[in-house]
Amino acid sequence: MDQKLTADQPAADQPAADDRRSFLRTALAAGGTLAAARISLGDDPARPAAPAPAGSFRLVHMTDIHVQPELGAEAGLAAALAHAQLQKPDLIVTGGDSVMDVFEAKRGRAEELRKLLLGTLKRECSVPMQHTVGNHDILGWNKRRSGMDGSESDWGKKFACEMFGNARTWHTFDRGGWRFVCLDSVQPKGDGYVAYLDDEQYEWLKELLATTPRTTPVCVVSHVPILSLTTLTYGKARGRDKVGEDNVIVAGEMHTDATLLHELFKSAGNVRLCLSGHIHLLDRCAIDGVTYICDGAVSGSWWKGPLQGVREGFGVLDLRPDGSFDHRYETYGWTPRK
């Protein structure tokens, strides 16, 4: 599949101004408080947050970093990490696409991006991190553009595993009374990809959820959304000529096994929260006791500014052992560079 059709290559024709910002300014003029407006606008990135309430666990979910040498992205990641650490998180989980792109990059560029990511994380972050794989973290699957043939020792997901220090592209861990599951959404199709769990991973997840008590809340992190409304609102609205026709969700933009996974979560009874990225937009939908959140992007529109009004930012979640949680999207005051 041509990557130009995928969601995490934002459309070129975005709103010229940040609509959300002007909306908030209007709200402020209408009586909102300055403090609330400053946090929402990201105008005060040095402002420290109140710590997580007693008994809860604070998670920062940073997705779609897309670090690269261009557009000041290295400084952007450093600024995001600094602001994330002011939120006093217990853990930072990345949601995939941590590097700009090694999917179709040549070897030299891939090495440069990995070095940039790992160097910046090591230098700028002192909070424990866990990593989720995204399509852009996979080496050379686009053989035509990358010039690779698949025989390279770290080709494909091996590169991502080595970069993130993981034995494989999905894993689980327990923190703060929650069980976390980082999944691998991305499966090959031609020189591109589509989103689902392969058989081995699906069986592993089924077994994991079945052996996790129903009273233990589970947070699932995937790069591509399992369920998301943003897959319909991303890009241009369809014209009147399409009225009466089916809505189409591209196979690389939302899990093609979405309903199967949702049924699995329902029957397991312990999955409370699913976090994703990939679309670089924000939404939250709750169904059958499971909340699905698509959590924006650290890079906004690949560092070129907000995407459809969603600014550069990350999710901050306070998770309580009873499975309840609070979520907010935190911007960090990034201004796009030329």
| Cβ-proximal residue to Zn ion, closest one | 8
Q: How many residues bind Zn ion (CB under 5 A)?
A: 3
CB-nearer residue toward Zn ion: 18 or 97: 97
- With H, G, I as helix, E, B as strand and everything else as coil, classify residue 115: helix
Candidate residues 3, 6, 8, 161; the one interacting with Zn ion per rule CB under 5 A: 8
Looking at this protein, which amino acid is placed at residue 246? D
The answer to the question of residue 283 lying near Zn ion (CB under 5 A) is no
Residue 318 in the binding site for Zn ion (CB under 5 A):
no
Q: Report the C-alpha gap between 152 and 130 in whole angstroms.
A: 26
Cα angle 282-291-4, degrees, rounded to a multiple of 5: 40
Residue 74 binds to Zn ion (criterion: CB under 5 A): no
Q: Is 295:314 a contact under the CB 8 Å cutoff?
A: yes
Which residue in 18, 74, 97, 330 binds Zn ion (CB under 5 A)? Answer: 97
Residues 223 and 183: their CA atoms lie apart, in Å, by: 8
Which region among 3-11, 36-44, 149-157, 247-255 touches Zn ion (by CB under 5 A)?
3-11
Of the candidates 226, 283, 219, the one whose C-alpha atom is nearest the C-alpha of residue 91 is 219
Q: Kindly tell me which residue out of 18, 21, 62, 64 binds Zn ion, with binding defined by CB under 5 A.
A: 64
Nearest to 94, CA basis, from 65, 52, 120: 65
Residues in 121-160 that interact with Zn ion by CB under 5 A: none
**Closer to Zn ion at the Cβ: 64 or 330?**
64
- Structure tokens of 133? 């794989």
State both tokens at 18: 């940040």
Q: How far apart are CA 254 and CA 160, in angstroms?
A: 21
Name the minimum Å distance from CB 9 to Zn ion. 8
Q: Is 253 in the site for Zn ion (CB under 5 A)?
A: no
> Looking at beta carbons only, is 52 or 298 nearer to Zn ion?
298
Q: Which stretch binds Zn ion (CB under 5 A): 96-104, 153-161, 177-185, 199-207?
A: 96-104
**Which span sits near Zn ion by CB under 5 A: 70-78, 97-105, 200-208, 266-274?**
97-105
Minimum CB distance to Zn ion, residue 278 (Å): 6
Q: Which residues contact 17 (CB under 8 A, 6 or more apart)?
A: none
Whichever of 64 and 295 has its CB closer to Zn ion, that residue is 64
Residue 211: phi, psi to the nearest 5? -100, 5
List interacting residues with Zn ion (CB under 5 A).
8, 64, 97
